[in-house]
Amino acid sequence: MSYKIEIEDLNAWFGNNHVLTDINMKIRENAVTAIIGPSGCGKTTLIRCLNRMHELVPGARISGRVLLDGQDVYGNGVDPVTVRRRIGMVFQKPNPFPMMSVYDNVAAGLKLNGMKDKRRLDETVEKSLELAILWDEVKKELDKSGASLSGGQQQRLCIARALAVEPEVILMDEPCSALDPTATAKIEKLIRMLGKDYTVIIVTHNMQQAARVADFTAFLYLGELVEYGDTSSVFQNPRNKLTENYITGKFG
Amino acid sequence: MSRLIDIGLEQLSKLLFKMGELAEKTVSLSLDSYMEGLEVHEKVRIWSETLVALSEQVEEKAIELIARYQPVASDLRTIESYMKIAYDLSRYGRYAWDITFIHRRLDVSSTDCIFPSLPIKELNEKVKNIVQTSIEAVRRNDVGLAKKIGEIENEVDIVYYECLDKLVEQDRITTKCLITNLLFIRHLERIADHASYIGESIIYLVTGERISLRGRMLNES
Amino acid sequence: MNRYMIRKIKDRIMVSLAYLALIIALIPLVSILIETATRGIPAINLSFLTERIPPLGQPGGGIGPAIQGTLIVVGIASIIGVPIGVFSGIYLAEFRETKLASATRFLTDVLTNMPSIVIGIFGWILIVTVIGWSVIAGAVALAVMMIPIVTRTTEEAMKLVPVTIREAALALGIPRWKTTITVVLSSAKKGIATGILLAIARISGETAPLLLTILGSRFWFGGFTEPTAALPLAIFNFSQSPYSAIDWPRAWGASMVLILMILGINVAVRYFTRGKYG
C-alpha cells in the first residue's frame, strides 16, 4: 500500500488565471488512476504539473509540492529533465516524430540521451514495442515512417516511445479521444496491463472509460478536487452530490 | 437537465407502481377472503400470474436500461432495487395465491378451525399493514417508512412464534385444522419477510447502504 | 430554374475572368523565358562558357570568368549568410517573446526591404574604402542581403513544426536545446532549405551591390581582395555595348546561363532535401 506520488497543496496559475486550487492527492503505486471532470476543469493542467510540463508555458507557475517517492520534483536544484525521464507522457493526439522511422521513434528518447550501443537499443526497442502490443504488427517494417501507421498504431507507438525510457510513472492525456472504438479498446486493455507494473495516471472525459480501466478515480471540478476514491465506490455510491450529478449526466 | 435514461426510468417506475397497486389488492383480497371463508381462488390466481408477467417486464426493462445507458450511482442503484422489488412483489402474489389454495384444496378455511387463543387475526392485520407500508415506501422512496417495516416485521415475528407455540399446545385439533393454520401463518410470515426485503431495497436505493432490517449491518463492499 | 441558370452563368464568367488574369500574369514571365531562350541559347557553346571575357566589340571569347565570379561571390556570401541567418531564425523561433527577439524581427523586416543599392553603398563604405574593390566586399554585401531572408524563413519553418512534436520530445526527458536542434530542426529541414534556396536565387541576380563592391572585370578570379567578374555585371556591360551585333547575343547568352544556374540550384537542393519521408 504505497504511494508513488503525493500532491500537497498544489495550486497552478496561467498568468493571473488560477486554474488549480489546493489539490491534495496521494497516487497509489502500480495502479491506474483516472482523473475525470468537465472540460476546462484543470485535469490536463494537473498532470502537466506532475512532470513539470506546465511551467513551459510562458506565464505559468505553481505553488505546493509534488512528491515522487518522497522527494519534491519542484525542489531546489531538481532538473526538470530528470523528472521527465521518470515520469513519461502520452498525448491526446498521437504525435510520432514525422521524420523518423518506427525504430527511430521508439529509440529517440534513448539515442538523444546518448545511448549508442546498438544491441541494447535493439533490445529496448523490441521490448517497448512488445509492451505496447505493437511489435507483431511492425516487426517486419521497423524502417517505415512513423507517420505511415494508422491512428491506433501511432498512439501505441507513442506509448512504446514513452516506455523505452523506462519511466516509473506514465501520464496519459485523453489518449483515446482521437481514435475509433476498436483502437480504443486495444489501448484500454494495454492501460490495464501497464497498471500492474507502472503507476498510470489517465485523464479522460469519457466516464465509462474511467470506469473500465481505472482502479481509482478522481473527480475534478473548476480546479478543485471534489471526490477521490476507488472506482467502484465512486461510480456506485459517490459521496459528493456534485460527483453524483456529473457522473449521471445531469450536467457537464 | 432531462436525460435519455430518464424516459426509461420513468417507464420502469410506472410498471413498478402498477405492480405495487395490484400486489396490495391481491394480498388484501386473499387474506380477507381466507379469514371470512370466501372462495376467490381463480381471481387471485389470475392476479398472481399478472404480477409474475409484470415482474418479467420490469426485469427486461431494467436490463435494457443497463445495456443501453451504462447507468451509474443513483441510477444504477434504482434499477437494481426495482428489479429486486419487482420480484418481491411477485412473491406477494404467489403467497396470496398459496393461501387461497389452502381453502380450495383442503376445503377448509379459518372459519372452520377457530381457536380463540390463536392470535391469527392479529397476525393477519399486521401482515396487511406491513404490505401496505412497503408499497407506500416504494411509491415515496421513503427511508423512514422502510425502517418502520423493520419494526413491524419484528412484531410479526413475535406474533408468529406465539401462534406456533399456541398451536403446539392445542391437544384437541384435527390434522386438517393443524395443517390449515400452519400453512396460513407460514405464508403470512413469508409475506412479511418479503416486505422487509423491499424495505432494504428502498434503503439501498436512497442511501447506498446495504443493511438488514433485522438489525444486522451487512457490509457488501 | 431561372435563378440557377443566372448563378451558373455568373460562375462561368468569374472562372473565365480568373483564367484570363492568370494568363495575363503569366505572359511577361513566359515571354521573358522564351525571348531569353531563343536569343540566348544559340550563343551558348562550350567556348562561350569557358573562355575569358573579350573586350567589347571583339568577337570570340566567352563569359567564363563571369560564371566563376558569380559562383565564388555567391558561395562566400552563403557561407557567411546561411549560418548567421539560420541561427538567428532558430533564436527567433525559440525565444519568441523576448525584447531582443521583437527588435530583431523588426530590423530583419526593414533589411529585407532595403534597396539593394543602399546595401551596396554599405559594402563600399565598409570594405572597399579599406581594402579596395574586392570579392570580399561583394560577398559581404550579398550576405547582408541574404541574412534577413534566411532568418525569416527559418523562423517560419520552425514555427510550423507543431507544438506537439516539441512537447513529445520534452516529455521524453530530452533537454530543450537538444530538442530544438534535433527533433524540431529536422522537422523544419525542408522549409529551411527552401528558404536558403530562395535567398541564394535572389542574391545570384543582384546587380546593384556588385556594382559598388566587386566592380567587375574581364579576367579570371585573382584573389579575394581583388575585383572580379560576375554574371549580372557582364550582362549589364554587354547590353550597354554599342557593338550590338556582337555583344548583345552575349548578353542574352549570359542571361540564359544565369537563369539556368538558378534553376539548377533549385532542383539540386530539392533533390537533396527530399528525405525518406517527404
Q: What is the pLDDT of residue A246?
A: 94
Beta strands in chain A (DSSP E): 3-14, 17-28, 32-36, 60-68, 71-72, 87-90, 169-173, 199-203, 216-221, 224-230
Residue B212: all three cell numbers together: 438488514
Contact status of B217 with chain A (Cβ, < 8 Å): no
Whole-number pLDDT of residue B187: 95
Band (pLDDT 50/70/90 cuts) for residue B219 is very low
3-state secondary structure of A166: coil
Least confident of A70-79, C22-31, C167-176, C268-277: C268-277
Domain assignment present for A127: no
What's chain B's average pLDDT?
90
Which residues in A have their CB inside 8 Å of a CB on B? 207-208, 211, 232-233, 235-238, 243-244, 247-251
Is residue B8 less than 8 Å (CB to CB) from chain A? no
Class of domain C62-233: mainly alpha
Q: What is the pLDDT of residues C89-98, one digit of tens each?
A: 999 998 888 8
Identify the CA nearest to B93 among candidates B14, B187, B157, B13.
B187
Q: Give me the interface pTM, i.e. the ipTM.
A: 0.90
Q: Has residue C276 got a pLDDT over 80?
A: no
pLDDT at C122 exceeding the cut of 50: yes
C244 in Cβ contact with C250 (< 8 Å): no
pLDDT at C46: 81
For the segment B212-219, the average pLDDT, to the nearest whole number, is 55
Q: By C-alpha distance, which of A113, B139, A92 is closest to C169? A: A113
pLDDT at C131 (0 to 100): 86
Does A165 sit within 8 Å of C170, measured CB to CB? no
Model confidence band, residue C273 (pLDDT cutoffs 50, 70, 90): low
Q: Residues of chain B with pLDDT > 90: what percent?
A: 71
Instruction: Please write the tens of the pLDDT for every residue from B31-72.
Output: 999 888 888 899 999 999 999 999 999 999 999 999 999 999
Domain with A84, as residue range(s), is 3-97+168-247
Which of left, alpha, beta for C119 (phi over 0: left; psi -120 to 50: alpha)? Answer: alpha
pTM above 0.90, yes or no: no
pLDDT for A252 equals 64
Residues of chain A that touch chain C, judged by Cβ-Cβ distance less than 8 Å: 51, 53, 56, 58, 81-86, 88-89, 91, 93, 95-101, 108-109, 112-113, 145, 147-148, 158, 161-162, 165
Q: What is the CA radius of gyration of chain B?
A: 19
Within a domain: B213: no
Q: What pLDDT, in 10s, does the model give residues C150-194?
A: 999 999 999 999 989 999 999 999 998 999 888 888 888 888 888
Size of interface A-C (CB pairs under 8 A): 75
Average pLDDT, integer, range B176-191: 91
State how far residue A108 is from chain C, nearest Cα, in angstroms: 8
Hey, is the C-beta of C84 within 8 angstroms of any chain A C-beta? no
Q: Is A216 part of a structural domain of the chain?
A: yes
Q: Which of A81, A88, A147 sits opposite C175 (nearest CB)?
A: A81
Task: Judge whether B20 lies within some domain.
Answer: yes
| Paired strand residues for A20 | A12
Q: Which domain CATH number covers B103?
A: 1.20.58.220
Residue whose C-alpha cell is 542581403? C145
- Specify the residue for cell string 396470496: B96
CA-to-CA distance for C239 and C111, rounded, in angstroms? 30
Cα C201 to Cα A18: distance, rounded to the nearest angstrom: 51
Nearest CA in chain C to A80: C173
DSSP letters of B10-27? HHHHHHHHHHHHHHHHHH
Q: What does the pLDDT read at residue C277? A: 45
Residue B167: partners with Cβ closer than 8 Å, 6 or more residues away: B118, B173, B178, B181, B182, B185
Taking the CA of residue A203 and the nearest CA in chain B, the distance in Å comes to: 19
Give the pLDDT confidence score for residue B55 in this predicted structure. Answer: 96
Each domain of chain C, given as residue ranges in start order, spans 62-233
**pLDDT at residue A113, rounded to an integer:** 85
Q: Is the pLDDT of residue B220 over 60?
A: no
Contact in structure between C53 and C64 (CB atoms under 8 Å): yes
**CATH number of the domain residue A52 falls in:** 3.40.50.300
Q: Give the pLDDT band of residue B143 (cuts 50, 70, 90).
A: very high
| Least confidently predicted of B28-42, B143-157, C84-98, C217-231 | C217-231
Q: How far apart are CA B128 and CA B147, in angstroms?
A: 17
Write the residue in A208, A244, A251 that is nearest to B74 by C-beta: A244
Q: How many domains does chain B have?
A: 1
pLDDT tens for each residue of C42-89: 888 887 888 878 888 777 778 888 888 888 999 999 999 999 999 999
Assigned domain for A173 exists: yes
CA dist., res. A229 & res. C186, Å (int): 45
The total number of residues written for chain A in this structure: 252
Which residues from A are below 8 Å from B76, CB to CB?
A: 235-236
- Nearest in space to B199 (alpha carbons), one of B212, B189, B208: B212
pLDDT(C275) > 80: no
Note whether B touches C: 3 CB pairs or more under 8 A.
no
- Residue B1 binned pLDDT confidence (cut-offs 50, 70, 90): low
User: Does the structure show a pLDDT above 70 at B218?
Assistant: no
Chain B contact set for A211 (CB, 8 A): 70, 72
pLDDT at B217 over 80: no
Residue C103 burial (C-beta neighbours within 10 Å; 0-12, 13-18, 19+): exposed
pLDDT, one tens digit per residue, over A152-209 is 999 999 999 999 999 999 999 999 998 999 999 999 999 999 999 999 999 999 999 9
Per-residue pLDDT of chain A (252 residues; tens, 9 = 90+): 789 999 999 999 999 999 999 999 999 999 999 999 998 889 999 999 999 999 998 889 999 999 999 999 999 999 999 999 999 999 999 999 988 999 999 999 999 888 889 999 999 999 999 999 999 999 999 999 988 999 999 999 999 999 999 999 999 999 999 899 999 999 999 999 999 999 999 999 999 999 999 999 999 999 999 999 999 999 999 999 999 999 998 886
Is the predicted pLDDT of residue B109 greater than 80, yes or no? Answer: no
Residue A142 lies in a domain: no
Cβ neighbours around B86 below 10 Å, total: 28
Mean pLDDT for chain C overall: 87
